Structure 1
Amino acid sequence: MKYPVEEIFRTEGIPEFTFVNPPNYNEILVDIRTPGKPVIIEGQSGTGKTTVAKKIIENAFPGGTFGYLSARIAEHMETILNISNGNASGHWIIDDFHRLDSCVQSRIADLVKVAAETFEPSIHPKLVLIGINKVGSGLIMLVHDIAKRCGIHRIQPANKDITLQIMNRGEDKLQIELEGKDAIFEETKGDYWLTQLTCQAICLSRDILETQDSKKKLVYVRDDIRYRLVTRLDNTYREPVKEFARGKRFRPTNDPYFRLLRLIAAQESSVSDLNELANSNPDFRGSINNIKERRIAIVLESKPVCSRYFYYNTDTKTFAIEDPAFFYYLRHLDWEDMRKDCGFRDDPDRYEWDFAISFAGENRELAKLIADMLEVLDCTVFFDEYYETNYLGTAWSRQFREIYGVKARYVICLLDSHHAEKIWPTFERDVFVPRVEEAAVIPIYLDGTLFPGIPRDIVGIDFKGYDGKNEQLVTDKIVYKLEEKLRRV
């Protein structure tokens, strides 16, 4: 019997002929088979979570008593909400659990605890929750002492023997012999999906489209296959990479999103804690810290093509690339070519912030409004409230010398009598006044107070008499002008 190659080495859905049990298959099977016991399967995309769960249910529950639900599928949300509200019984897989609203997650976690305590399958639904980023640990934080009452598993990667089994089964069905299996294992590192994709690509590179009449030897050439895969994926993934890398409002020097993607592509995992990533990569710390609080979420909300491929949790600062094909593409992308394609130019004067705002406490409300509006326009702004946690344990005086002196491209100063009288604004002014000569200081005049070192004829923004009520005036007279100034850099 002849089989098409895509049915043997499957990259979509559950492999029929080349599925091999992961090392911890039996442990997961027993927990799913145990009546009433909730099960959590966590781990990043491509590890086979959904495939293993479906295989177990196919074998252990042949009557089709398990329903499959995904937080990605809009039509499934009504049932998921019914389950979370305690209005549904039965057996359910809830996939992509991490994408549910935190309130829904919490209600389901409460159900899991009650079900685990009572083990009354006739009363409570049997739930198998599948997600990424330590879903089990997240549930433990939501509901104390849940861990000992349910099964929490990660699909263990394929070892060399399992990877060889996948390839051997494919060889038998297609009448081929793959040479270089050790090298294939080194490339795929136990990733089930990548093993399937790589084997399929080897076949296609040698015109093997179906089972052969006689056995044929196929040599694996890593660089050739890697290039073929990246080229094959380019039409699908180049656009979302460019859209995310360019941020909400493109500027040739605004590349923190590009720098973040390039750094993540160099990691082993497609799931990253941005706090940990920033702390372990000093050269990227400023770029990451400037976008992780709000700006990444703004980009994903404003660009649907990005939200389909990137996941970000603003509470946990977890950034994830859930599509394993996409992550493979990123890992082997020509990043210098992508930089040019995005339109970024090398900036010899790389600044950590586009703007730093200097103000007296009496004008904090106006300063925050300006900072918030600039961030919506995808500008990096140093506003002290945004970064207090980053600088805990350090001296503001030292930080301000660096921020207002060298780390901000422009200093916005809200000048009035309060700025002249207060200690901290005066300290900041002493730091940034020398930068007046380089046109890096943009005054916003709130009254007629004169300041040494800031010439009366320096071009600034006249904003005298603002009553704190007309936000549109702030947008038109200050924010848009500042953003336009940045665009002309």
Structure 2
Amino acid sequence: MSSPILLLEEVFRTEGLPEFTFVPAPNYNEILLDIRRPGKPVILEGQSGTGKTSCVRRIIAELQDQAATEYLTARNPVHISRIEKIVHEQIAGRFVVDDFHRLSQQLQEQIADVAKLAAEVRDQGDVPKLIIIGINQVGASLIQLVPDIAKRVGIHRILPGRRQEIAELIKSGCERLNIRIMNADAIFDETQGDYWLTQQICQSICSAANVTQTVEERTDVTYDIGDIRRRVVERLRAAYYPAVKDFCRGRRFRPSNDPYFKLLREVGQQESSIVDLNEMANAHPEVRGSINNIKERRLEILIESKPNVALHFYYNADTKSFAIEDPALFYFIKHLDWNQLRQDCGFREHGEDFEFDVALSFAGENRALAAYIAAALLSLDVTVFFDALFEANYLGRAWSAQFTEVFGRKSRFVVCILDIRHSEKIWPTFEREVFAPRIANASVIPIFLDDTKFVGIPRDIVGIHFKFDPTDPDWKKKVDEEIIYKLIDKLSE
């Protein structure tokens, strides 16, 4: 009896649960036991592409216990409302909560409380059976929310497939299609055990060889991995390139404002699609400034302000964890033409990587003016060193050492608010001594509030002359028109 004719996309599936090419994770049975146990909360964590959701669906299908299972994801606003209802009313049933890490901190805490209750009374009555799915460390995060549930919760981390699991996946698909992919072992070297990517690569190999369904006669299929890689990347371009460009250009585009571009390019060179930005900044000094000047607030604001970016990128500002959760997007980014992307974004090349676009130097009497300038520039996606914003960062350190770094080399421009007080005060004088040598390369922009003369600052230097009157109800509007717009024009050069 001949084998049934199967379509290529049914065999090597890139969407949904693989029917013919599913391979269980090494800890599949341990996960099954915990999912099967009534009431016991279960947490599955791991990077995207490891098959967490597919594993859960396969186990539940295998149980055949007739119990209804409701699948919910934090990416769907309707599902979030349903999760809130389940938590508040403690509805009995089996619930899979995917993308747990994307839920609000408050809702995560509420889920943790329900998980604790379910863990305590699971043998005493109907309680919600929670199966929580998220990226790395979601289990540890949940335990931190409710520490005493650690021993009552099944926490499992699904790792990428090993060479033998990937070989079994490919073999199963080839048998269904009646083919043999030559040099199949090289596919693991390309995918590093990513289940989704393995499915996609195999599908592309077959498609390039005109195998679109089960063939009648056994066929050997050869391929060139470079060609297959280009095919996959080109296939993904329409779906991902706009979002990648939006991310790289930042919240407000300027040709010199490229820290997001540098961050994403560096992420694309990592083995994992989930990175700790503190660790990355420390390990890669060439992009340390770019990462440091966006990881506190700007990156979070960018993702929140652009829906297309929020759909594809995740960032936790508290833990500094940045994630590309879609394995297809991560593969696309790893193999991008970054020079072409830089051109398409409209960036100009510049050699140095500054931690700040602007460092503000001012006397304390002009703090209100400096604070407004800092806030206005920050709202326009400009990185600003304003001392009040960084006091916590420098606790225990000497200001003199930090100011020497900031005003000497860590800032692209120094904007100094000059008046008689700046000339008389100790700290502003120290800052002036640090940034004075930079006047020669036009990286100091003075704002003159009066006619005070300063040693080392030429009288004919082109600056901004501004009359600051804090009693004027329109002073902020005047700052925008006479200072902020000029600074933005200069930063855009």
Counterpart of 1:19 in structure 2 is 22
Counterpart of 1:4 in structure 2 is 7
The alpha-carbon distance between structure 1 residues 88 and 463, as it changes in their structure 2 partners (threshold 3 A), is: farther
**Correspondence for 1:386 among 378, 389, 401:** 389
Aligned pair 1:303/2:338, yes or no? no
The alpha-carbon distance between structure 1 residues 133 and 360, as it changes in their structure 2 partners (threshold 3 A), is: farther
Q: How far does residue 215 in structure 1 lie from its aligned partner after superposition?
A: 0.9
**Correspondence for 2:466 among 450, 462, 468:** 462
**Correspondence for 1:143 among 143, 146, 155:** 146
Say which is worse superposed, 328-337 or 356-365, in terms of deviation.
Answer: 356-365
Q: How does 1:22-421 map to 2 (within 5 A)?
A: 22-120=25-123, 122-421=125-424
SS in 1 for 2:261: helix
CA distance in 1, matches of 2:124, 2:342: 55
Say which is worse superposed, 104-113 or 229-238, in terms of deviation.
Answer: 229-238
SS in 2 for 1:145: helix
CA distance in 1, matches of 2:136, 2:159: 15
Counterpart of 1:443 in structure 2 is 446
8 Å CA contact 1:447, 1:464 repeated in 2: no
8 Å CA contact 2:435, 2:444 repeated in 1: yes
Which 5+ residue runs of structure 1 have no aligned equivalent? none
The alpha-carbon distance between structure 1 residues 121 and 202, as it changes in their structure 2 partners (threshold 3 A), is: farther
The alpha-carbon distance between structure 1 residues 215 and 287, as it changes in their structure 2 partners (threshold 3 A), is: same
State the TM-score, normalizing by the size of structure 1.
Answer: 0.95
8 Å CA contact 2:181, 2:222 repeated in 1: yes
8 Å CA contact 2:449, 2:466 repeated in 1: yes
The alpha-carbon distance between structure 1 residues 367 and 380, as it changes in their structure 2 partners (threshold 3 A), is: same
SS in 2 for 1:464: coil
CA distance in 2, matches of 1:468, 1:269: 54
8 Å CA contact 1:50, 1:130 repeated in 2: yes
> Structure 1: which amino acid aligns with 2:294?
I
Aligned pair 1:483/2:475, yes or no? no
The alpha-carbon distance between structure 1 residues 461 and 298, as it changes in their structure 2 partners (threshold 3 A), is: farther
8 Å CA contact 1:24, 1:156 repeated in 2: no
CA distance in 2, matches of 1:286, 1:386: 16
The alpha-carbon distance between structure 1 residues 6 and 64, as it changes in their structure 2 partners (threshold 3 A), is: farther
For the aligned residue pairs, the C-alpha RMSD in angstroms reads: 1.9
State the TM-score, normalizing by the size of structure 2.
Answer: 0.94
Which 5+ residue runs of structure 2 have no aligned equivalent? none
SS in 1 for 2:15: coil
CA distance in 2, matches of 1:121, 1:41: 25
Q: How far does residue 49 in structure 1 lie from its aligned partner after superposition?
A: 0.7
Percent identity between matched residues is 54
Structure 1 residues 245-275: Cα deviation after superposition (integer angstroms, max 9, x where no partner): 1112222222111110011011111111111
> Structure 2: which amino acid aligns with 1:406?
R
8 Å CA contact 1:295, 1:376 repeated in 2: no
SS in 1 for 2:148: coil
SS in 2 for 1:220: coil
Q: How far does residue 480 in structure 1 lie from its aligned partner after superposition?
A: 2.1
Q: How far does residue 372 in structure 1 lie from its aligned partner after superposition?
A: 2.3
Structure 1 residues 268-319: Cα deviation after superposition (integer angstroms, max 9, x where no partner): 1111111111111122111100011111122222322211111111121111
Q: How far does residue 120 in structure 1 lie from its aligned partner after superposition?
A: 4.2
SS in 2 for 1:11: coil
Count of matched residue positions in the alignment of Structure 1 and Structure 2: 488
Q: How far does residue 394 in structure 1 lie from its aligned partner after superposition?
A: 4.1
CA distance in 1, matches of 2:94, 2:64: 10
The alpha-carbon distance between structure 1 residues 38 and 69, as it changes in their structure 2 partners (threshold 3 A), is: same
8 Å CA contact 1:83, 1:108 repeated in 2: no
Q: How far does residue 175 in structure 1 lie from its aligned partner after superposition?
A: 0.9
The alpha-carbon distance between structure 1 residues 85 and 442, as it changes in their structure 2 partners (threshold 3 A), is: same
Structure 1 residues 26-74: Cα deviation after superposition (integer angstroms, max 9, x where no partner): 0000001111110011111111111101111111144251111111112
Structure 1 residues 448-470: Cα deviation after superposition (integer angstroms, max 9, x where no partner): 54433334554314032123865
SS in 2 for 1:85: helix
SS in 2 for 1:146: helix
CA distance in 2, matches of 1:449, 1:61: 84
Q: How far does residue 388 in structure 1 lie from its aligned partner after superposition?
A: 4.0
> Structure 2: which amino acid aligns with 1:483?
I
Q: How far does residue 125 in structure 1 lie from its aligned partner after superposition?
A: 0.7
CA distance in 2, matches of 1:134, 1:485: 43
8 Å CA contact 1:444, 1:463 repeated in 2: no
CA distance in 2, matches of 1:4, 1:432: 68
CA distance in 1, matches of 2:482, 2:150: 56
CA distance in 1, matches of 2:408, 2:368: 24
CA distance in 1, matches of 2:441, 2:115: 62
